[in-house]
């Protein structure tokens, strides 16, 4: 039997993998670096859209410059680190000064991260946007649909769930048919949102 | 002529009787996971077509250099790089879609079809043929997923591509958008294709 040389069995595979890794990492890094700016911009626009939506401020969805403009005019980020403020102080469409805070909670499959907007009383919602969720597509993930989010505007807790499409009073929230666990998760989040907002804003020195 | 016959066979096999999903039963994880919305399915499929095609070409071009012992490491590295390129591109240029697909894009790396084609085809054939094989394997995967997603989204939500198709009279079959719905649909699909179409072809011979 032919003996393979030490080089071809031991050294070459290692050298080959090192070279291949270097080449591919360079290509991937190159693409990452060229798109980095754009990705960061996307993320920041995504957050800005969420805050404006939660505050009930209208904006053109597909126009990043306009969103940026409206945001800078109306929203002030308070505390926190770069890109993740503790809370937002917002000039509401009514002229009052409202707030928005991040509220997190457990969903069915993973964490639900939402931004709740508040009127100056820190009790009444101006709206909500769910920025991260991993609920079942077609069932629980319907929390991201417009009609579902719209129901939060003008409401204040503590809430109770009613059948889908039946909410009427300011303390009632529509549940989602076929997604009881998600509905309950959102109920929990909505119920603690006001408390979280009051705490955060007070800590911020207001 | 023989070459052309081989090209044709390379292209039609993965779409027809040697389909990666219903004949080789590969890529089932993503078939089950993403098919409850047509939009996600189409974008996921485009990602898979891109990756199978380009990884096939690249692996085939390097096949004489790749040492046998580390070939799987090399293949995984190449596949993963292309998938990350898809991920980064979506993230930069289609952020809304990227948000929805979430971790699924990264999971293309573990799609057995890509590794399967790399091992079974690209390591033994020319880059040109591997390109055709990768492309047609991707297409074979895509159309099966689209058929399944079509029925799942339509019956599960009454919508297609997010647009309401079935009116208020339709009661959504919640099970269709949940994981069991995917098992049922895939099984029905395999049954129809294998039991009806392929059997008829064999009977005709």
- The predicted pLDDT at position A136 comes to 78
- Chain B CB contacts of A9 below 8 Å: 69
Distance of CA A43 to the CA centre of its chain: 10
- The predicted pLDDT at position B111 comes to 84
> Average pLDDT for residues B190-198, to the nearest whole number?
82
Q: Does B203 touch chain A (CB under 8 A)?
A: no
- The predicted pLDDT at position A2 comes to 57
SS3 content of chain B, % helix, strand, coil (to 5): 80, 0, 20
Nearest CA-CA partner of A95 in A120, A117, A71, A116: A120
* pLDDT over threshold 80, residue B181: yes
* pLDDT over threshold 60, residue B105: yes
Rg (CA), chain B: 18
Q: Does B67 touch chain A (CB under 8 A)?
A: yes
- The predicted pLDDT at position A32 comes to 95
Q: Which of A43, A134, A136 sits opposite B178 (nearest CB)?
A: A136
Distance CA B147, CA B144 (A): 5
The single residue listed with the structure tokens 């990666």 is B20
Q: Which of B88, B91, B174 sits opposite A139 (nearest CB)?
A: B174
- The predicted pLDDT at position B71 comes to 92
Interface test with B, best of A61, A137, A142, A180 (most B CBs within 10 A): A137
> Average pLDDT for residues B116-125, to the nearest whole number?
92
Q: What is chain B's mean pLDDT, rounded?
A: 87
pLDDT in tens, B34-65: 888 888 889 889 999 999 999 999 999 999 99
Q: Does B77 touch chain A (CB under 8 A)?
A: yes
- Chain A CB contacts of B102 below 8 Å: 134
| Beta strand extents in chain A (DSSP E only) | 75-78, 87-91, 97-106, 111-118, 125-132, 160-162, 172-174
| Predicted-assembly ipTM surpassing the 0.85 threshold | no
A17 and B99: CB-CB below 8 Å?
A: no
Q: If 0-12 CB within 10 Å is exposed, 13-18 middle and 19+ buried, where does residue B19 land?
A: buried
> Is the Cβ–Cβ distance between A115 and A100 less than 8 Å?
yes
- Chain A CB contacts of B92 below 8 Å: 35, 38-39, 42
- The predicted pLDDT at position A165 comes to 84
Nearest CA-CA partner of B74 in A32, A12, A7, A29: A12
Q: Give the pair of three-digit tokens for residue A69.
A: 């403009």
Q: Does A26 touch chain B (CB under 8 A)?
A: no
> Average pLDDT for residues B8-26, to the nearest whole number?
83
* pLDDT over threshold 80, residue B115: yes
Within chain B, what is the greatest distance between any pair of CA atoms? 62
Using 50 as the pLDDT threshold, list the residues of chain A that sit under it: 1
Q: Does A29 touch chain B (CB under 8 A)?
A: no
Interface test with A, best of B54, B74, B85, B92 (most A CBs within 10 A): B92
B177 and A42: CB-CB below 8 Å?
A: no
> Average pLDDT for residues B164-172, to the nearest whole number?
84
Q: Does B36 touch chain A (CB under 8 A)?
A: yes
- The predicted pLDDT at position B49 comes to 94
Q: Does B92 touch chain A (CB under 8 A)?
A: yes
B77 and A24: CB-CB below 8 Å?
A: yes
Among positive and negative, which fits the CA dihedral A81, A87, A92, A96? negative
A35 and B88: CB-CB below 8 Å?
A: yes
Burial pattern A114-140, b for ≥16 Cβ within 10 A else e, equals bbbbbbeebebbbbbbbbebebbbbbb
Interface test with B, best of A8, A15, A28 (most B CBs within 10 A): A28
- The predicted pLDDT at position B108 comes to 85
* pLDDT over threshold 90, residue B128: yes
Task: Return the higher-pLDDT residue of B106 and B154.
Answer: B154
Distance CA B56, CA A7 (A): 28
pLDDT band with cut points at 50, 70 and 90 for residue B28: confident
- The predicted pLDDT at position A61 comes to 82
Scan residues 180-199 of A and list those with Cβ closer than 8 Å to B. none
Distance CA A133, CA A140 (A): 9
Measured in angstroms, the CA of A198 and the nearest CA of chain B are apart by: 30
Q: How many CA atoms lie within 13 A of A195 on its CB side?
A: 8
A178 and B81: CB-CB below 8 Å?
A: no
- Chain A CB contacts of B84 below 8 Å: 28
Angle at CA A167, nearest 5°, toward A164 and A168? 155
Q: Where are the domains of chain B?
A: 2-204
């Amino acid at each position: 039997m032919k003996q393979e040389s030490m080089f071809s069995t031991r050294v070459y595979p290692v050298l080959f993998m090192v070279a291949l890794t270097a080449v591919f990492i360079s290509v991937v890094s190159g693409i990452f670096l060229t798109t980095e700016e754009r990705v960061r911009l996307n993320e920041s626009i995504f957050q800005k859209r969420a805050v404006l939506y939660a505050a009930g401020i209208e904006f053109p969805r597909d126009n990043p410059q306009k969103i940026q403009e409206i945001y800078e005019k109306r929203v002030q980020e308070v505390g926190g680190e770069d890109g993740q403020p503790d809370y937002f102080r917002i000039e509401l469409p009514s002229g009052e000064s409202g707030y928005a805070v991040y509220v997190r909670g457990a969903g069915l499959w993973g964490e639900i991260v939402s931004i709740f907007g508040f009127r100056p009383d820190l009790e009444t919602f101006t709206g909500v946007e769910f920025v991260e969720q991993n609920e079942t597509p077609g069932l629980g993930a319907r929390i991201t649909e417009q009609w579902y989010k719209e129901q939060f505007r003008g409401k204040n807790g503590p809430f109770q769930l009613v059948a889908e499409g039946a909410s009427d009073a300011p303390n009632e929230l529509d549940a989602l048919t076929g997604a009881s666990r998600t509905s309950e998760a959102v109920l929990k989040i909505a119920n603690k949102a006001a408390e979280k907002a009051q705490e955060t804003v007070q800590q911020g020195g207001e | 002529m023989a070459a052309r016959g081989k090209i044709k066979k390379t292209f039609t096999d993965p779409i027809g009787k040697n389909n990666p999903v219903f004949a080789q039963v590969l890529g089932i994880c993503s078939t089950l996971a993403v098919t409850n919305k047509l939009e996600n399915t189409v974008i996921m499929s485009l990602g898979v077509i891109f990756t199978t095609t380009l990884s096939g070409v690249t692996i085939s071009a390097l096949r004489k250099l790749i040492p046998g012992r580390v070939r799987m490491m090399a293949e995984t590295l190449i596949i993963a790089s292309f998938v990350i390129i898809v991920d980064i591109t979506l993230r930069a240029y289609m952020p809304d879609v990227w948000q929805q697909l979430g971790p699924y894009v990264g999971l293309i790396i573990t799609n057995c079809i890509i590794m399967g084609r790399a091992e079974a085809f690209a390591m033994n054939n020319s880059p040109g043929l591997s390109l055709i094989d990768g492309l047609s394997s991707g297409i074979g995967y895509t159309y099966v997923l689209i058929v399944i997603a079509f029925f799942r989204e339509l019956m599960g939500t009454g919508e297609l591509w997010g647009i309401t198709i079935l009116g208020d009279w339709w009661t959504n079959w919640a099970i269709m958008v949940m994981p069991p719905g995917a098992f049922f649909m895939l099984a029905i699909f395999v049954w129809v294709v294998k039991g009806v179409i392929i059997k008829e072809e064999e009977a005709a011979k």
